[in-house]
């Protein structure tokens, strides 16, 4: 098997910015960094008959911190900025994220493996230094388990696996 490096542009994240019609907006333009942190929680034990410990992964608490230049008119920024302006909390800060794995082999011509995930968006900071573009930093906190499926890039739609 040939090894191929995966570029960051082949891992794309979208926010559901409208339900009617369903509109997935790419988190991309203006975003300078975005890494999915899986934040594993582990437990370690050393059994009485052993000298070395055992560590198990108990659960994950993923999040996606985002640093972005504020670009008015960009659908993803406008959506997050509206949450900032309203200081959204609890259910009002909930939304949906879709991660698309473009480096995977598509199921059909335009259908790539994807995960749809309920999220909560926290606004971390807004502003910046004088003379440069304003920045917004926010964290996308994953809620529960993802729904796996396919994202059709030509139609802009997510279909859950059966």
> Which region among 5-14, 35-44, 99-108 has the lowest average model confidence (pLDDT)?
99-108
What mean pLDDT do residues 100-115 have? 92
Q: Is residue 46 part of a domain?
A: no
108, pLDDT greater than 90: no
pLDDT of residue 162: 87
Tell me how far the alpha carbon of residue 77 is from its chain's centroid.
14
Tens of pLDDT along 51-68? 999 999 999 999 999 999
Contacts of 150 (CB under 8 A, 6+ apart): 107, 108, 111, 112, 113, 114, 158, 159, 161
pTM: 0.92
**Residues of the domain holding 156:** 8-41+52-160
How far, CA to CA in Å, does 33 sit from each of 21, 142, 162? 29, 18, 33
Q: Is residue 133 part of a domain?
A: yes
Q: Is residue 47 part of a domain?
A: no
Q: Is residue 155 part of a domain?
A: yes
pLDDT of residue 113: 97
What mean pLDDT do residues 5-34 have? 95
Q: Is residue 64 part of a domain?
A: yes
Q: Is residue 84 part of a domain?
A: yes
**Cα(108)–Cα(105) distance, rounded to whole angstroms?**
9
Q: Is residue 3 part of a domain?
A: no
Say if CB 111 and CB 151 are below 8 A apart: yes
Structural domain tally of the chain? 1
């Amino acid at each position: 098997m040939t090894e191929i490096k995966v570029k960051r542009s082949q891992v794309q994240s979208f926010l559901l910015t409208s339900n009617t019609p369903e509109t997935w907006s790419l988190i991309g333009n203006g975003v300078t960094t975005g890494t999915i942190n899986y934040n594993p929680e582990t437990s370690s034990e050393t059994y009485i008959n052993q000298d070395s410990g055992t560590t198990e992964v108990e659960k994950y608490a993923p999040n996606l911190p985002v640093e972005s230049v504020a670009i008015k008119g960009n659908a993803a920024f406008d959506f997050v900025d509206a949450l900032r302006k309203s200081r959204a909390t609890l259910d009002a800060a909930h939304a949906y994220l879709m991660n698309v794995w473009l480096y995977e082999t598509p199921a059909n011509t335009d259908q790539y493996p994807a995960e749809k995930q309920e999220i909560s968006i926290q606004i971390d900071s807004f502003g910046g230094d004088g003379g440069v573009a304003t920045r917004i930093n926010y964290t996308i906190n994953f809620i529960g388990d993802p729904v796996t499926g396919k994202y059709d890039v030509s139609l802009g739609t997510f279909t859950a696996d059966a």
